[in-house]
Amino acid sequence: MKLALSLVASLFWAIASAAPFPAQVAARSKLPRLILYYQTTHDPSGRPISILPLINKQHIALTHLIVGAFHVHANHTIHLNDHPPRSPVFHTLWNETRLLQAAGVKVLGMVGGAAQGSFTKATLDSGSSNNNNTTTATTTTTSNAFEKSYALLRSTITSHRLDGIDLDVEEPMTQAGITRLVRRLHADFGADFIITLAPVATALLRPGGGGNLSGFNYTTLERQVGGKMIAFYNVQFYNGFGHMGNTALFDRIVASGGGWDARRIVVGQLTSPVNGGGFVGHKSLARSIAVLRRRYGEIGGVVGWEYFNGVPGGVGKPWRWAAVMTRILRPGREPRLRITRETAERLKEAWMVAARAAGDGNGTVTTERWAGLVPNVDYAGMVNEYSVGRE
C-alpha cells in the first residue's frame, strides 16, 4: 500500500515537473518568436484577406505580424504595395491590426523588399557616403531628400500605430546610411520601438561571406549602433541564400565571430514552395529547430514569408502554417482574441469598404456586383465577448 502511494506521488511529481512553465511565466516569455509577413492583403478579385484567424483559431501563438511592403518613392510619396497606406483599400487591414495588438501581437511595418527604390540616393540613403565614421553618419550628414523620405516613414509609423519597423534592404545601401536610419528611428520612437533588419543568411558570414543584397556590413552596423537598437534579425534562409534542411549555415553564422547571438536570429522560412526557392518541409524544419534549441539554449524564432498561402492550409486556410509552427515553437502560449458585437459590425463594414475600394482599381468587384457582396469572413461568428446590459 505504502509503495503504491509513493509511486503515485512520484508519478505526480514527475508529471508536474515535466510541465514546461507555469502559465504566467509562459505568457511573459517572448522567445522563441513566431512571426509572419503579411504582404498579399487581397485576393485576386479584390476581397480583403483577414488576418484574424491568426488570433481567433485555436493553437496559434503568433508574437509579431509584419505588414509590408512599404515603399518610399523618390517623388516623396509612400505606398503600401500599390496604394497610399491610408487608402480605404486597407480599412480591413488597419482595423484588424488593432485587434491583433489588443491580443498582444506586435505589429511592425516592413520597408523595402524585392521592389527597389526605398534605400537609394534619392530616398533613405540620400546624402550619406560610404564610410564608417559614426560622427559623419549622424551629424554631418543632412539631406533634404533623406529628411523628406524619413518624414513619410515616421508619419506612417505614427498614423498606423506600428510597434516597430523591419528594414528589408535588398539594394546596395551605404554603411553610414543604414546607421543613420537606425539611429534616427531609435531616437524618435524610443527603446520599446522594435527595429529589425532582414538580411539574407549568407550576409552574416565573414569575412567576405557569401552573397548579400544590402551592400553594407551587418557586423559593423551592430557595432555602430551599440548592439541595442536592433531588436533582432529576420534572416532569410531561402532563395539560394541558405536553407534549413540542416543547421549548418545557422551554426556557421553563430561561429563566424561576427557577434551573432542565436536568440537574435529569427529563422526566415517560406510558408509555401510557391513563394520562392528553398522551401523546407515542416518535419525537417522541426528537426533543425530542435537541434538548434538544444545546442544554443534558445533561438530567436521563426518568421514566415508570407501569410496568405501558407501550407498546409493554402489560400483557403493559410493560418494553419502558424498552427504548425506553434506546435514546433510555442505550444500552449496562444494570445486570446476578444470580439464584441460592435467590433464585428465595424469589421464587416471595413471589409465592404476595402473590397469596393480595391475593386474600383480592378473591375473584378464591379459596381453591379456590390449588391451581392458579402464578406467571406464570419465576423459575427467570432463574437466571444458580450457587453452586459446592452442587449
Ligand X SMILES: *[C@@H]1O[C@H](CO)[C@@H](O)[C@H](O)[C@H]1NC(C)=O
| Residues in touch with ligand X (CB under 6 A) | 42, 44, 46, 73, 75, 77, 91, 94-95, 98, 130-133, 135-136, 140, 203, 206-209, 212, 215, 217, 219-220, 223, 349-350, 353, 362, 364
**Minimum distance from residue 207 beta carbon to ligand X (Å):** 4
Cell of 254: 553563430
Whole-angstrom Cα distance, residue 38 to residue 43?
13
For ligand X, the closer CB: 34 or 235: 235
Whole-angstrom Cα distance, residue 242 to residue 248?
9
Q: Could you please report the per-residue DSSP string of 36-73?
A: EEE---B-TTS-B---THHHHSTT----EEEEEEEEE-
**Minimum distance from residue 81 beta carbon to ligand X (Å):** 9
**Minimum distance from residue 160 beta carbon to ligand X (Å):** 8
For ligand X, the closer CB: 64 or 79: 79
The three-point CA angle 163-235-246 to 5° equals 140
For ligand X, the closer CB: 164 or 209: 209
Q: Could you please report the per-residue DSSP string of 226-252?
A: TTTSEEEEEEE--TTS--SSSSHHHHH
**Minimum distance from residue 340 beta carbon to ligand X (Å):** 15
**Minimum distance from residue 219 beta carbon to ligand X (Å):** 4
**Minimum distance from residue 265 beta carbon to ligand X (Å):** 17
For ligand X, the closer CB: 214 or 288: 214
For ligand X, the closer CB: 333 or 356: 356
For ligand X, the closer CB: 77 or 246: 77
Pairing verdict, β 301-305 and 164-168: unpaired
The residue assigned the cell 456590390 is: 370
For ligand X, the closer CB: 212 or 326: 212
Q: Which are the contacts of 167, defined by CB distance < 8 A and separation ≥ 6?
A: 111, 112, 178, 181, 182, 195, 196, 197, 198
**Minimum distance from residue 324 beta carbon to ligand X (Å):** 28
How far is Cα of residue 112 from the mean position of the Cα atoms in its chain? Answer: 13
Task: Return contacts of 21-30, CB within 8 angstroms, 24+ apart.
Answer: 26/332, 26/333, 27/333, 29/333, 30/63
> Residue 93's closest CA among 73, 109, 77, 78?
109
